[in-house]
Amino acid sequence: MIVLDEQLLGRNLELEIAKWYPGAVQLITDLRPNTVIKDDVIPKLLRQQNQPTFVTINKKDFWRKVLIDTHFCVVCFTLPDTRANKIPQLLRTLFGLPAFNTKAERMGKVILVTAQGISYYTFNDWQLKMDS
């Protein structure tokens, strides 16, 4: 399951991702409808799902701040809001890399995707990986 942050609402990114991703693609607001979802509650909501990958452009509130566990993955893209439409292709490319190409490989990681490469940390350590 891929879960998109609320900042990504209204862009049809879930439809674009669903064209190639075989699992469910939802918005974070689908996990708790009709309520305001604060960033600090998102890990709790993710733990209630079956191995979700949470996708955001909110680096400030997630990168090196979210406590990760083996039940979910967080992917932070350093894209401006105006370029969020690039997420489906960038996510597909990320999922094509050996370190991230299965749920088992992604779970327990917070991943940062920048123009310079990919960095990530896990629930028990910090790792830096630069891929193109």
Q: Partners of 55 in the beta sheet?
A: 4, 75
Q: What is the pLDDT of residues 4-51, one digit of tens each?
A: 999 898 889 999 999 999 999 999 999 888 788 888 889 999 999 999
pTM of the shown model? 0.90
The whole-angstrom distance between residue 70's C-alpha and the CA centroid of its chain comes to 14
- Lowest-pLDDT range of 10-14, 62-66, 78-82: 62-66
Q: Is the predicted pLDDT of residue 130 greater than 60, yes or no?
A: no
> What is the spatial distance between Cα 110 and Cα 122, in angstroms, rounded to a whole number?
6
pLDDT at 131: 40
C-alpha closest to that of 26 among 13, 43, 44, 41: 13
